Amino acid sequence: MNRERRFVVAFMPWAGLAIGLVAAGFVHQYGSDSTFDHCATASPGPLLVVAIIGLLACLISALASWRGVKGSTNEARRVVAVISMGMAALFAFAILLPMAASLILPACFR
């Protein structure tokens, strides 16, 4: 196996944790910046688009974690993958909250 392929195989169980964290952080930072910089003119549209992209990243990373250990007998990799999938679900929930807030709350109260 070449070096890049070994890295991908080693990273797969960790994908939900790493990519989900980056996606949730990016969505949170984007929402915070847009709300505090332009609260009177901010519309929920761009935040919803970024949040949907973040949700897709969490979903894909959780599936990558699951596929990375499907059929594996290495118990440590399986534990990491299960925790990683759970964290990706938690990050997806953290992304859903600002999506709901952008639709429910007035712009300057977000």
User: 21 vs 33, which has greater pLDDT?
Assistant: 21
In this prediction the pTM is 0.83
- pLDDT, residue 108, reads 66
Question: pLDDT for 24-83, tens place per residue?
Answer: 999 989 877 776 666 666 677 888 899 999 999 999 999 999 987 777 778 888 899 999
- Comparing CA positions, the residue from 70, 69, 68, 56 lying closest to residue 20 is 56
- pLDDT, residue 55, reads 96
